[in-house]
Structure 1
Amino acid sequence: MQITNFWHKFYIHSLKIVIGFVIGVCLISTESKAQLPGTLNLPNFDEQKIHFGFLIGGHSSRFRLKYSDEYITHDFDTVHSILPTHKFGFKIGFIVNFHFFQYLDVRVAPTFSFYQLGLDYRYTHGETLNELRDPTYFELPILFKYKSVRRVNRAIYLLAGLTPAVKVSGNKQDLDSSERLLIEKFNLSVDVGVGLDLFQPLFKFSPEVRYSFGLLNVLDSEENDFSVGIENLNIHSFTIYVTFEGGPSTFRRKARKY
């Protein structure tokens, strides 16, 4: 499959997003350090039973592949290897955060995730065939958030949980099924991550990194030339997020001195 100019531009924009995240984190962290040492922003924010926010993220994703027994048969004499490739994508979603205990929250984050997933089919005569899938998934991460003690306007946290997902575009009917690598509609992954809460006067800003381990085999049961020789395909991804969170009374609160 040939990649359109749109996707070439998408790669560039994805890199710009990731670079922008890093620069933004540095700028806001510097600004926070410049605040008066005695200023405590949003003093009771994390004690709210529920608060809301949104997230954006840039991710690098790839298939994790396991060959089938057919790969070593004579039918594959001309295929040297099938290799996953790293591709960039982005995510956008909402956050609903439930506070349960002093240091433990449960977070639900409905998210639309735009993937590019590729395989390189390398042949013994030197030719390489690039197969690219560009599915969009609706994901529903359910995550436990364990927070450190707040240090003025900063706190570190750890995340872990499950993410069920359903494919909402990029289905098999977009082309003849014999001409594409087909992937299943549903996926499930384990997510682990770490982040930093930065409390601002009117909202909480959090840069975060998260790794996702696919649990389900997303290779479609319908076999064709692209799937012969493959037994399992799992989706793994590394994502850089930025989140912005507020609450029902956030904008009525003022910073106080302690």
Structure 2
Amino acid sequence: MAFTHIWHQLYLHRQKIGFAVFFLIFLASAVQVQAQTQKVKAENKPGYDEKRIHYGFYLGMSYSKYHIEHSQAYADQAATGTQVNTMNELGFYPGLVLNVRLLEYLDARFVPGVGFYGRSIDFERNDTPEGEGGSFDNTTFASPVIELPVLLKYRAKRRGNFRMYMVGGVKASRVLGNTTHTQNRDLLRINRNDLSIEYGVGLDIFYPYFKFAPELRFSHGLTNQKSHSGGEYSPLIDRMTTRNLSLIFHFE
């Protein structure tokens, strides 16, 4: 059945929850330290927010996967045919930051980067003789991806050398490498282009010579990534979209 990997999927969800909890604990600890040292520590980089444009770079790591909606053909053969399960994979991506001040607490951000992800799908075939168990085909798309996020950043009031913020916007992306997965036969094909919505929270930390900002960001793909150009397992999938949970470190 399609529930073969339920325990594995629950384990992956625990990883993502732990990822988010660790980030929130980090933010809470940083704010507490700021509150304890605010009276004795001088404010770093005064007047930083008055500048119109800021530049920087970032390094990110993410859990990435495909969210799959099965087709009617999959439902018709689910009891005895091929089962489809998605897998979370760890990836990373570097990029650049262009930040433009729009209003007192609102910025526009263009943060292009290159993502190195490995989104995987497991196909368990139940067409082997009884008693021998099913066989697996693992389909992993690990090509580099050019990403072009455009975000709005809403900043809270600065407190000493710390400040919370929220971001939200859209991201266009394009796969650079192979979009056909083959293991002696054509298994599945994906589309090159994608459009996602992105949102998250972060913390600006001001140091004497730069600003450091850890950020937790979520990404939900809007376009169907399954190509209609064929593939052995293509009929089993009606729609597949991307999902990312990222921890990003900005240096500006």
Shorter-chain TM-score tier: 0.7 to 0.9
Map 1:1-258 to 2 at 5 A.
Answer: 29=30, 37-74=40-77, 78-124=80-126, 125-172=133-180, 178-245=185-252
SS class of match (1:213): strand
Q: Cα RMSD (Å) of the superposition?
A: 2.5
Distance (Å, rounded) in 2 between the aligned partners of 1:186 and 1:178: 24
SS class of match (1:151): coil
Tell me the CA shift for residue 70 of structure 1: 1.3
- TM-score normalised per structure 1: 0.78
Greater RCO (CA < 8 Å, at least 6 residues apart): 1
SS class of match (1:70): helix
CA contact (8 A) 2:188 2:230 kept: no
The one-character-per-residue Cα deviations of 1:165-213 (angstroms, maximum 9, x if unpaired) are 01112333x8589434211010000001000000000000000000000
Amino acid at match of 1:227: S
Tell me the CA shift for residue 34 of structure 1: 5.9
Tell me the CA shift for residue 72 of structure 1: 2.8
Q: Any unmatched runs of 5+ in structure 1?
A: 1-17, 246-258
- TM-score normalised per structure 2: 0.80
Tell me the CA shift for residue 79 of structure 1: 2.6
Distance (Å, rounded) in 1 between the aligned partners of 2:158 and 2:79: 60
SS class of match (1:194): strand
Distance (Å, rounded) in 1 between the aligned partners of 2:108 and 2:92: 23
SS class of match (1:100): strand
- Pair 1:71–1:195, CA change in 2 (3 A): same
Stretch deviating more after TM superposition (222-231 or 199-208) = 222-231
CA contact (8 A) 1:136 1:170 kept: no
What is the identity percentage for the equivalent residue pairs of Structure 1 and Structure 2? 29
Distance (Å, rounded) in 1 between the aligned partners of 2:50 and 2:189: 46
Amino acid at match of 1:139: E
CA contact (8 A) 2:61 2:248 kept: yes
- Pair 1:70–1:144, CA change in 2 (3 A): same
- Pair 1:47–1:177, CA change in 2 (3 A): farther
Tell me the CA shift for residue 31 of structure 1: 8.4
CA contact (8 A) 2:141 2:179 kept: no
Stretch deviating more after TM superposition (61-70 or 32-41) = 32-41
